[in-house]
Structure 1
Amino acid sequence: MKRVLIVTGWCLAISSVWVSTAAVAADRFAQRFALELESGAAYYSVTLPAAVYAASQRGDLGDVRVFNGAGEPVPYSLDAPREPSRAPATLRPVRWFPLPSAAPGSTGAPLGVTIAADGSLRATSAPPARAQHDADLIDVARETRGEARVDALVVHVRDDNYQGRVSVESSDDLRNWQPAGEAQLLKVSYNGSTLSQDRIELNGMRARYLRLHWLDGAPYIESIDAQVQTASADNAQRAETQLEWREGIVARAGPKAGEYFFETGGPYPVDRLRLSLPQPNTVAPAVVYSRSGLESAWREVSSATLFRLHNGTVEQSNPSLEMAPDTDRQWRVVVDTRNGGLGSGTLTVAAGWRPATLTFVARGAAPFTLAVGSAAAVSSAVSRTDLLMGASSVAVTARLGGALPVGQEGDAQSPGKDPDAMRRYMLWAALLLAVGSLGAIAWRIARGAQVHAGPQAGGVADDGGGTGGSGGADGAGGSASGVHSGSDAASATANDAGTAGADGQSTGKN
């Protein structure tokens, strides 16, 4: 019983060592990045690039840490991207004036239009014939009153089918014109419904007048609206320019027709998708689903009509699909195949998101490193308010440097120094000691079994010898017993013979 208890104790010790070793391994981070600081500020902030998301093993970036030069973790906050505040968009109808053919860069007031004392435009002649109509002049300031920025123009085309490019110019005096962008308009009747792309994005520009120059022929215009945003929309415009994109994602065809699967490769907070169709002149409704893993159910996140239409030199595609931020890694696109689906070829995807911002306290000595990618790590981030504690200093922007070698600990200690080396050595020493002790115990048990086996083997030999004496079995002990038994039998026979002779003599005398 004592040996059993000893063996059980050593088994438990080995199990604890194994678990401890696994825990140490799980606590390591898969990737570390150098943090480059330019001044001696107390707080620093860094926008997390795509490489940090790709290395993270948690959907909430809970495995992100910041270490100083001594390998100590420092306090940090992690601010997830927020939906930018937008003032309600307002569509206001604007007046437009068809213009005869003229070069887009020509100077001077357009023919057939005069400027009133208040700056508004008035027509002085009948509109040109359709063959001569290649531009439209829009009076923006009259409707917006100069108080807001113009996000976009919405051109309502009367034609049932139209596809063409348009260039936009802006001016404040009708003499000096500046390029303001280019767009493609589309209106197609499909399967009893209308597919249209009627927006001309202007990115919140300010201008009194706009001129549309039709590069593929002017359409019949029913009306034009200006989408106006107040000055509070500037933050939303800046947020749009801060988008990160992961492009070139190839979707693989699923087992069912019209089914496509792809993965983003990290917990990116995706809020828009660009789906590029493989073949031109394709129109197909589609539904997009996502899930976090194989054990989760698919959930619908967006739906739209996908298209890619080619007309001469003009090609138009569906705009990006917008959705609430989604950190799921697995995605599924189901396309309506009743009209051929997407045809042959490969569906490619681009995923866009607004990255999170990490703010940390520069406690301790440099260099500082950012670590990410540990399945055992739990988020230790604090709120930005608690981190700053009302400090008047502003967080200075830090830059995330290159990834450190996988074998190099990001705690940034002296070269070649491993902070976990001593612990690993102790664990291995305990493991070797446990194995050696188990070997010694096994040897002692085997030795004791051999000692006990000796007497038991002798007793069996004696029994076998006795049997051998009676039945002629082999063995020295058995032969000796057989000789002894034969002597006894001879003696008994001689005695019997002597007794019989004596009895005979006695009988004769009588």
Structure 2
Amino acid sequence: MNIASCRAWAPALVALASAAALAGPGSTPLQLSGTGPYYRVTLPAALYPLAKDMALSDLRLHSAQGAPLPWAWADATDAPAPAIRRHNAPLFPLTAAPRSGASTDATMQLNVRPDGSLAWRQAQASAPARSDWIIDTHAAKGNLLSLVLTLAPQDQGLYSFSLEASEDLRQWQLVLPQADVVQLTHQGQQLQQNEVDLGGLRARYLRLRWLGDGPAPSLRKADIQAYETLLPSPPPLQWQTLGPARCEAAACTWTLPAHLPLDAVRLSLSDPNTVATVTLLGETEQAPSAAAQPHRHRLFSRHREPTPTAAASSHSVLRQVLLSSTLYRLSLPGQPERLNPDLPVDGNSYQRLRLEARHSIQEWGSSPPQLSVGSRGREIIVLARNPDQAMLSWGQPQAQGSALPLTELMPLGTAQATGQGSLTLPSTTPPAPAAAPSAAAPPSATSNHTPWLWAALIGGLLLLGAMAASLLKKVQPQS
């Protein structure tokens, strides 16, 4: 070892000291607004790598003076997961449906029975060649998880549609601006994508409208997969785009943020007019614990059977099969480019994701697919007398400031939480050196109440200095 090698180690040691400073305990103020004293705060997915586990069990709420604040998980419940049921939803064709407005002539011909089901007021002729559809989902009492469409066998192509929801057939809300159903057969190979994720939607009726000017397919059947009881709607997915850590002849691997619950993945092929069958696996050093489920919002991921099972592993790495799917990126004549939909995952935390090709990664095109991971942030409810002084901390060992049962925090019900809140987390990567002086930035959220940060940084610098001094003593003066 020489002075040059010592210089080469210097950036790594500084980065290590900076990473150690960010990986331990920290805190950040909450920005609360609206009518209190209860405030609902959605936690960002970037909080998971800072916490000690996927359940965020080390989160604490306190005032700026260190006094604990009462709070609870907004999704906290001891009730078991609801049962899932599949329903064959009745279909009603709508002829010449307008592209704007709250109702149609065909809708007005429908009669709502006392039980909520639909029927024609008078007998209808057979469905026309092109029609939009009312899908009667009233029999599904709980949240809608997925919609499965069955087309006529002779319909071959990629068809786009929008989806609206209503409770009374008069007022409609757009819930899916565009979704695709694919049915293609070529040289004995079949590509079929007919399931659409509804993500826990609540609606008595759906209106499906085919998009584009081409001929629409003949819709033969619509199945709804839903819970048997109603759950609160989940917060939206938070997405992060990652680059592959390494690629082999038939697989690529991505490293995931620590403790991040994986609720969905988005895989986008690099080249147009490409179709590839893939298998996605989660890699961990230990088996994921089914008992340590991070939050109930994971239930709204589209239900899939069979349950993923452990795959063969090597080098003590456990691999869990998450899904097998067909990726596509197609540009058909007269139609805009179509991409495969986002894929729901089980909500567990994995250290890495491994994407395997059927034979070779060359099937994916000129480069690996772009991977984005989606996670539903958890929500907390805070009771704050002084909204300007509320703080959130992580990595704290003390029990004071931990979560209360939701019923204890809010004895009058969750409708009292009318205020909203947000927070800003420190960056998990060391900042690049500035080229020139700039305006003063606000102090870091972790600069308060963390004297050990300075100790970690000073320790790293002392270690670097000791190594440099030791090497300098061994250097012989040149003659």
TM range (shorter): 0.5 to 0.7
In structure 2, the partner of 1:66 is: 61
Aligned length: 379
CA distance 1:195–1:222, shift in 2 (3 Å): same
Q: Distance in 2 between matches of 1:406 and 1:179?
A: 41
- Unaligned ranges ≥5, structure 1: 1-21, 412-417, 429-510
Tell me whether 1:384 sits opposite 2:404 in the alignment: yes
Distance 1:28 1:388, change over 3 A: farther
Distance 1:218 1:327 in 2: 44
Structure 2 counterpart of 1:34, one-letter code:
P
Stretch of structure 1 that moved more, 168-177 or 148-157: 168-177
Shift of the 227–390 alpha-carbon distance from structure 1 to 2, 3 Å rule, reads: closer
Q: TM-score, normalised by structure 1?
A: 0.57
Give the one of 144, 151, 154 matched to 1:156. 151
Q: CA deviation at 1:275?
A: 1.4
Alignment of 1:333-482 (within 5 A): 333-337=355-359, 340-358=362-380, 367-372=389-394, 377=397, 382=402, 384-385=404-405, 388=408, 396=417, 397=419, 399-403=421-425, 405-406=443-444, 409-411=447-449
The residue that corresponds to 1:198 in the other structure is 194
The one-letter code sitting in structure 1 at the alignment partner of 2:348 is: D
Paired position in structure 2 for 1:306: 326
Alpha-carbon separation, structure 2, partners of 1:156 and 1:116: 26
Amino acid at match of 2:30: L
Task: Confirm or deny: 8 A CA contact 2:92 2:133 kept in the other structure.
Answer: yes
User: Which residue number in structure 2 is paired with residue 184 of structure 1?
Assistant: 180
Give per-residue Cα distances to partners, 1:134-187, cap 9 Å, x unaligned: 32455x45x858988876462333226321223457899999988674432211
Root-mean-square deviation (Å): 5.1
TM-score by length of 2: 0.60
Choose from 312, 317, 340 the match for 2:339: 317
1:227 Cα offset (Å): 2.0
Mapped contact 2:84–2:228 kept (Cα < 8 A): no
Letter in 1 for 2:182: L
Say which is worse superposed, 40-49 or 297-306, in terms of deviation: 40-49
CA shift for structure 1 position 223: 1.4
The alignment status of 1:91 with 2:87, answered yes or no, reads yes
Offset of 1:33 from its aligned partner? 0.9
1:334 CA drift (Å): 1.6
| d(CA) in 2 for partners of 1:393, 1:170 | 28
CA distance in 2, matches of 1:173, 1:407: 48
Per-residue Cα deviation, 1:233-276 (whole angstroms, up to 9, x for no partner):
352xx11xx1332232222441x223212223232211221112
Q: 2:265 aligns with which of 270, 273, 288?
A: 273
Q: How far does residue 351 in structure 1 lie from its aligned partner after superposition?
A: 1.6
- Counterpart mapping for 1:88-167 below 5 A: 88-97=84-93, 99=95, 104=99, 109=105, 119-120=119-120, 133-138=129-134, 140=135, 144=138, 152=147, 154-159=149-154, 161-167=156-162
More helix by share: 1
Matched, 1:224 2:221: yes
Q: Relative to structure 1, is the Cα distance of residues 314 and 234 closer, same or farther in structure 2, using a 3 angstrom cutoff?
A: farther
Q: Separation in 2 of the partners of 1:58 and 1:393?
A: 29
Amino acid at match of 1:348: Q
Q: Is the 8 A contact 1:159 1:219 kept in 2?
A: no
Question: Aligned to 2:191, what secondary structure does the other structure show?
Answer: strand
Q: Which moved more, 1:64-73 or 1:114-123?
A: 114-123
1:327 corresponds to: 349
Following TM superposition, by how much is the alpha carbon of 1:228 offset from its aligned partner in structure 2, in angstroms? 6.9
2-side partners of 1:40 and 1:172: how far apart?
Answer: 30
1:342 CA displacement = 0.6
- Cα distance 1:357–1:381, how it changes in 2: closer, same or farther (>3 A)? farther
Equivalences for 1:214-293 in 2 at 5 Å?
215=212, 217-218=214-215, 221=218, 223-227=220-224, 229=226, 232-233=229-230, 235=232, 238-239=233-234, 242-254=235-247, 256-292=248-284
Partners of 2:445 and 2:90 in 1: CA distance: 64
| Superposed CA offset, 1:25-46 (max 9, x none) | 9899454211245699787663
Greater shift after overlay, 270-279 or 151-160?
151-160
Q: Is the 8 A contact 2:238 2:377 kept in 1?
A: no
In 2, the alpha carbon distance for the partners of 1:252 and 1:192 equals 36
**What is the letter of the counterpart of residue 180 of structure 2?**
Q
Bigger relative contact order, structure 1 or 2 (CA pairs below 8 A, ≥6 apart): 2
Cα pair distance change 1:29/1:277, threshold 3 Å? same
**Structure 2: distance between partners of 1:109 and 1:360:** 49
Deviations 1:302-336 (A, max 9, x none): 12223222213233333333232222232222222
Amino acid across the alignment from 1:311: L
1:360–1:262 CA distance, 2 compared to 1 (3 A): same
| 5+ residue gaps, structure 2 | 1-16, 114-118, 287-314, 426-441, 460-479
Give the secondary structure class of the aligned counterpart of 2:259: coil
